Amino acid sequence: MTEQCSPCKQLHIFEYSNNVKIIIHIDSLALGNAIGGTRMLPYDSVESAIQDVKKLSSAMSLKAAIHGLNQGGGKCVIFNPEKLHFNEIAPLYTSALNQLAGSFIAANDMGISIKMINDIRHLSPFLISSNQLIDDPSYFTALGVFHCIQYITKNHLDTTIPNIKIQGLGRSGAPLCKMLLDSGFKVSAYDIKVSHVEQFKKHPNFSALDETNWFSLPCDIFAPCASGNVITNSNVHLINSKFVCGTANNPCENMAVINTLHSHHIQFIPDFVSNGGGLIYAAGTYHQLSRKEIIDKIKNIPKLISKLSCSSSNMYVNALSIANEKISSFVNES
């Protein structure tokens, strides 16, 4: 089933047996073919999977535009209520990608590892690893956030060794934690999986936080690196940091939360700015840029922060308007 939601947006739902659905949402093709990850999480309903894919794909359009990539935004979620192994689903998934004929280029995301994508690269030319085996983009996502944190520390904090609090030490949070500790930052972290925290416990600059109070403990920079919607209308008043800058997509529940952070003088670095490193790596590798070219682009992410903080309105609003302007100016030109 394909639904044309608006002139640019397309929702494609490919249905298979065992109630498996490959759901691909293309949010925008204005700047180029859409690129984005594939998620396989236990969704409660098809409707919640569709809501997730729409929200995530629109963030991908903004991310590609703000980072100057000639890509549109898209995302795929796999609805898999019977928990079939990915190997069973892979031929359906790649056939769905092939039917879209390159309007969507797929990467990995939560529930799908880069190994799973590398292992099936022969089945579709529309996987980010189709041209070459690729590394996990998560490292590059973490690298972008690391450079943002370094920039904030140098330009906006009155301490040289700030306290960074991380939620989630998974594929992006763990490398971020390691980069920060290796560079002399103090890091505290909370993860629901104790084993993810264990690896850092011996480091003298690391402290493990527990479930009961991790959220409200003060820090200079809070780095949400787990799932989205962690800062909500009901807990935003507990945030005790000067900055929020992490890898998580949509860490704020809604715009009201973002506005509350701003009014409390807590600077929220827009997620689609801070976490763009993985997309820059994925798109760059697909287009066969060198590693140095990719890393140089990622090191430039903090320049966006200075651009966004030059007016009194909040950075998120400024970032939205820059990204949307880029997308719409291209649509108007063509």
Nearer to ligand NAD, 196 or 299 (CB): 196
d(CA 191, CA 223): 12
Nearer to ligand NAD, 115 or 333 (CB): 115
The token duo for 174 is: 């763990």
Q: What are phi and psi of 70, to 5 degrees?
A: -85, 65
CB 105 within 8 A of CB 128: yes
Nearer to ligand NAD, 191 or 220 (CB): 191
Nearer to ligand NAD, 13 or 169 (CB): 169
What's the closest the beta carbon of residue 320 comes to ligand NAD, in angstroms? 17
Side chain identity, residue 260: T
Residue 235 is classified by DSSP as T
What's the closest the beta carbon of residue 188 comes to ligand NAD, in angstroms? 13
Q: Which of 63, 75, 165, 186 is catalytic?
A: 75
Nearer to ligand NAD, 162 or 224 (CB): 224
Q: Is 240 helix (H, G, I), strand (E, B) or coil?
A: coil
CB 88 within 8 A of CB 66: no
What's the closest the beta carbon of residue 171 comes to ligand NAD, in angstroms? 3
Q: Is 176 helix (H, G, I), strand (E, B) or coil?
A: helix
Cβ neighbours of 33 (radius 10 Å):
19
| Sign of the four-CA dihedral 97, 89, 53, 279 | negative
Residue 130 is classified by DSSP as S
What is the binding site for ligand NAD (CB under 6 A)? 110, 137-138, 141, 167-173, 190-193, 196, 225-228, 247-249, 275, 278
Bridge partner list, 214: none
What's the closest the beta carbon of residue 141 comes to ligand NAD, in angstroms? 4
Closest-by-Cβ residue to ligand NAD is 170
d(CA 171, CA 212): 24
What's the closest the beta carbon of residue 292 comes to ligand NAD, in angstroms? 20
Whether residue 303 lies in the annotated active site: no
Question: Which of the residues are catalytic?
Answer: 75
